[in-house]
Amino acid sequence: MESMSEDARRFPPTRQTLRTRVLMVGVFVGAILALSFSWAFSWDIDGANGAGGGASPEQAAQFKAREKAFRSPAGSCLDWTKPDAADAHLVPCDQRHLFEVAGVVDLAKEFRPGAPAPDVEGWRRITEERCGEVAETYLDKPLDPFGKLTLGVLHPDEQQWADGDRKLRCGLQWAGPGGELQPLTVPAADVNQSDVWEPGTCLGLAGKTVGDPVDCAEEHSYEIIGQLDLAKEFDEYPSLEDQKAWLDKECSRVAEEYTGGAELPKRLILSWDLREPESWEAGSTLVNCKIGAKLPDESGLAPVRGSVHKDAKAEEPTGEKGPGKPEDPEDPEAPEDKESQEPGAAESEAPGQETASGGPESAEDG
C-alpha cells in the first residue's frame, strides 16, 4: 500500500470548529429536553385521574418520570427513544443511556431576577466555561477535547427562566459525527474516551463529510475495519510522524485480515486516525483503521456503498464521484495516484485523522 502524501496536510483539521460543533450539540440537546419539559407542564395532570379531558394515566406517569429525570442529581443517567425526549426517564448507568448528569450549576449570581436568558451563543459559552470544569471534576481525569465524550447541558426553558430557575445540569454524552446521540452502557468515568467505533461500522456521508452510523449497504464515508492501540507501541506521546509510520504498517496488516487479502477497489483508500497530545493525556490511545474514498477534486469524501469485509455478500464496494455517479475506470480524468488526505480535511474535524493508500480522508469524529 502506498504511503502518505503531502495531500494529507492540505486541509489541516480545525480544532476550534470541532469544539464549537460539540458544544452546539450539547446546547441543542439541552434545548430539546427543556422544550419537552415545558410541554409536559402544559398537561392537566390533576385531570388525568378524572373526567374533563386531562392527560391519561399513562401520560401522567410519563410526565412524572420525565420530571424526576430532569431534576436528577450528579451521577444520574437518562435515556429516551422519542425525538423530543418525551419519554425521558432515569436508568442505571450500566444500562443503555444517552445522558449522564455530571453536576448542577447555579447561575443565580450571574443572572439576577428579570435578567434575560442567554441566547444560543451565550449558552455555548456558559457550557464551555462552567460545564467543562464540572465534567473534569466529576470524571476525576481530563476530558479529551477530541474524544468520544462531549459536553451537554439541560437548561431552564423560557418560562422556567422567567420564574427564576437558574440551575443547569451539566452532562456527558456521546454524539456521532452528524450530531446524533449514541447510547452508552457504562458510567462516563469508565468510558475509554478514544473516538473509535466497532469494526464493521460504516459512518454515513453528510454532504462531503462524515455522518452518523448507517448500514454499509447505504452510501457512507468510511467503513471501520479495526482498532489499534498506540500505547502498545509507544511509552510516551508519539509525534504525528511516528504515529503515521507505525499506523501505515499496522493498518495495512489490519486491512489484509479484514478483507481477506483482497485488493481494494479503485478509489478506495486505507485511512487512520492520529491522536493529539491532549487526547493522549486523557488516556485516548485507541485509533480507527478505516477505508473510504475522496472526490476527484479532493474537496471532500466521496460516497461508498458496500462492505470490504471478506465475508460480505453484497456487491463489490464502489467509490463514486458523487451521488449516483459511479466512477468510470476508463475515465481519463481520474487521478493516477491513490494517496491519502488527512481525514478531517475538507471538513473541520477532530485532529488526528490520516489516510494512506489511495484516497481522501475527511473524517468527522470517527
How would DSSP label each residue in 27-56?
HHHHHHHHHHHHHHHTS-SGGGGSSSS---
Indicate whether 126 pLDDT > 50. Answer: yes
Give the per-residue pLDDT at 317: 67
Give the per-residue pLDDT at 354: 54
Same domain, 36 and 126: yes
Give the per-residue pLDDT at 49: 41
Helix (H, G, I), strand (E, B) or coil at 188: helix
Average pLDDT, the chain: 77
Farthest-apart Cα atoms in the chain, separation? 75
Give the per-residue pLDDT at 47: 40
- CA 185 – CA 93 distance, rounded (Å): 7
Same domain, 138 and 45: yes
Same domain, 240 and 160: no
How many domains are there within the chain? 2
Same domain, 180 and 201: no
CB atoms within 10 A of CB 186: 13
Give the per-residue pLDDT at 44: 34
Residue 237 resides in a domain: yes
**Can you tell me the mean pLDDT for 335-364?**
37
Same domain, 228 and 258: yes
Same domain, 174 and 218: no
Note the pLDDT tens digit of each residue in 60-119.
Answer: 888 888 888 888 999 999 999 988 788 899 999 999 999 999 999 999 999 999 999 999
- Cα dist. 296→318, 319, 332, 334, 339 in Å? 14, 11, 12, 7, 12
- Choose one of 129, 155, 190: the last residue of a domain: 190
Note the pLDDT tens digit of each residue in 28-58.
Answer: 344 333 333 333 333 333 344 444 456 788 8
Which residues span the domain enclosing 89?
18-190
Assess contact for 259 and 289: CB atoms under 8 A. no
- CA 59 – CA 286 distance, rounded (Å): 44
Cα dihedral sign, 5-16-279-190: negative
pTM of the model: 0.75
Nearest residue to 153 (alpha-carbon basis) of 196, 189, 107, 197: 107
Same domain, 34 and 175: yes
Same domain, 144 and 92: yes
Residue 51 resides in a domain: yes
- Choose one of 139, 159, 190: the last residue of a domain: 190
Q: Which residue shows C-alpha cell 503515521?
A: 244
Strand partners, 294: 301
Same domain, 242 and 326: yes
Give the per-residue pLDDT at 229: 98
Give the per-residue pLDDT at 33: 37
Same domain, 169 and 235: no
Same domain, 141 and 52: yes
- Choose one of 139, 168, 190: the last residue of a domain: 190
Assess contact for 219 and 307: CB atoms under 8 A. no
Q: At what angle do helices 15-41 and 57-70 cross, to 10 degrees?
A: 140
Residue 31 resides in a domain: yes
Give the per-residue pLDDT at 80: 94
- Percent of the chain scored above 70 by pLDDT? 70
Same domain, 178 and 237: no
Nearest residue to 345 (alpha-carbon basis) of 228, 194, 208, 219: 208
Note the pLDDT tens digit of each residue in 127-163.
Answer: 888 999 999 999 999 999 999 999 998 888 888 899 9
Q: ∠ CA(260), CA(8), CA(229), 5° rounding?
A: 50
Give the per-residue pLDDT at 57: 86
